[in-house]
Structure 1
Amino acid sequence: MDKKQIHNELQFKAVRSSGAGGQHVNKVSSKVEVSFNIALSQGLSNIEKQRILLKLQSRLSNDGVLLLQCDEARSQHRNKDLVVKRLFDVLTKAFEIPKKRKKTKPTKSSVEKRLKLKKMSAERKATRKKPNWD
C-alpha cells in the first residue's frame, strides 16, 4: 500500500455541516467527504484490492467506491485531516489477517463437573417418575 499514491487519488468534497457553530455553520462548508475508487487505484496491489472489496463490502457503493465523511471539527482543514486518517485506519484494518483459533480440550475438572451435574439432573428427573410396583 503506497500511502502517497493513495492520498493523490482521493477526491475531496466540502459540504455544509450540521451541529454547533451558530450562524457560522450556515455559511461555511466545513464537512468533508472523501471518495476513494478502489478498482482504479494505482497505490494498491491486486491482492490488496480483493481483500478490501471483501472486507469492506458493506461500506462500498455499487461502483466500488469507498465513501467517508467527517464533520467533527469546525474547521474544514481539520476535518480533512481526520477523514484521511480514518480512511487509512479503515484500509489498514482491512489488511489485518485474523489469528486462527487454537482448539483446546476441556480440562479434566470441567468434564467431571459436567458429568456430575448431568447425573444429578438425571436423578432429580428419575424421582418424578411413577414407581413401578412389579
Structure 2
Amino acid sequence: MAFAFLRMGIMRVAQSGCYSTSLQRSMAYKSAISLETLYPNSSLKLSTPSFVPDPNEKFSGFIPIEKLDITYSASSGPGGQNVNKVHTKVDLRFKLSEATWIHRDIKERMLELHGKKLTKDGYLVIRSDTTRSQQLNLADCMQKLRNMIRDAAVTKRAPSPETEEKIRQRHLKASRLRVAMKREAAHRRELKRSPTVVDL
C-alpha cells in the first residue's frame, strides 16, 4: 500500500516537472557523521611526504626498496589450498659489498657479524614466511634488515678502568656471599643431624 502511494507521488512529481529537483534533493543527503561534516576545513586528501635521509647520519632507518632484489614463492606449512595459490613467502637479498646506501663502517661490522650468512656471490639473504600475507612478510623482512643494520651501527665503547674495577669488586663480593651462604647451609645441616652414640 505504501509503495503504491510512493509510486503515485513520484508520477505526480514527474508530471509537474519537478522530478529532477526532488531527486537531487534526496541524493544530496549527507549523514551527520560524514567526513565533510566532521572535518569541514579538511581537503580529505592523503599525501605521503617525501623523505630525504640525513647524509651525516650513519643509518636513519630508511632502506631504498628499489635497490633490493625481492622474490616471492609458495610458503611451506599448513594453510590448505591457499598455500598453493598465493606466493606469500618473501626472499629479500642484496649484495652487501655493493650496497652504497649502507655506511662503510656499518658494512664492515655487518661482515663481521653476519659473514657466515652470505652466499658464495656475497649476497645477504633474509627470508620470511611467518604469515599468510605477502605484505606482512615483506614488512617482516624489512624490519629484520633494519634491526641487523642498527645492531651493526651501534659502537660498543670499552669500559674505563674504574668501571672494570667496580665490576670486579661486584663479582668478588657475590662470590664471597655465595661461599658464606653455602657454609651457613652446611652448618644448619650439621646441627640437624642426630648425635652419634659411641659404645664404650
TM-score (norm: length of structure 2): 0.50
Partners of 1:75 and 1:4 in 2: how far apart? 23
1:77 corresponds to: 135
User: Identity of counterpart residues, as a percentage?
Assistant: 26
Residue of 51, 63, 70 corresponding to 2:109? 51
| Number of residue equivalences | 114
Partners of 1:94 and 1:25 in 2: how far apart? 35
Using CA pairs under 8 Å that are at least 6 residues apart, name the structure with larger relative contact order, 1 or 2.
Answer: 1
Matched position secondary structure for 1:63:
coil
Partners of 2:80 and 2:95 in 1: how far apart? 35
Provide, for residues 62-89 of structure 1, a one-character-per-residue CA deviation record: whole Å limited to 9, x for no partner.
2221101111111111111111111111
Partners of 1:95 and 1:4 in 2: how far apart? 14
Larger Rg: 2
Partners of 2:100 and 2:111 in 1: how far apart? 15
Partners of 2:74 and 2:63 in 1: how far apart? 28
Partners of 1:60 and 1:91 in 2: how far apart? 15
Q: Greater share of strand residues, 1 or 2?
A: 1
Shift of 1:36: 1.9
Provide, for residues 59-114 of structure 1, a one-character-per-residue CA deviation record: whole Å limited to 9, x for no partner.
2112221101111111111111111111111221222234546241324x829x59
1:110 corresponds to: 176
Residue of 51, 68, 83 corresponding to 1:25? 83
Partners of 2:154 and 2:118 in 1: how far apart? 18
Amino acid at match of 1:18: S
RMSD of aligned residue pairs (Cα, Å): 2.7
Residue of 70, 95, 98 corresponding to 2:153? 95
Partners of 1:88 and 1:25 in 2: how far apart? 28
Partners of 1:19 and 1:5 in 2: how far apart? 30
1:68 corresponds to: 126
Matched position secondary structure for 1:61:
coil
Query: Contact 1:6–1:41 at 8 Å: present in 2 too?
Result: no
Q: Greater share of helix residues, 1 or 2?
A: 2
Query: Contact 2:106–2:149 at 8 Å: present in 1 too?
Result: no
1:126 corresponds to: none
Question: Are residues 70 and 5 of structure 1, via their aligned partners in 2, closer, same or farther at CA, if it must alter by over 3 Å?
Answer: closer
Partners of 1:35 and 1:5 in 2: how far apart? 13
Shift of 1:49: 1.2
Matched position secondary structure for 2:72:
strand
What are structure 2's unaligned runs of at least 5 residues? 1-58, 184-200
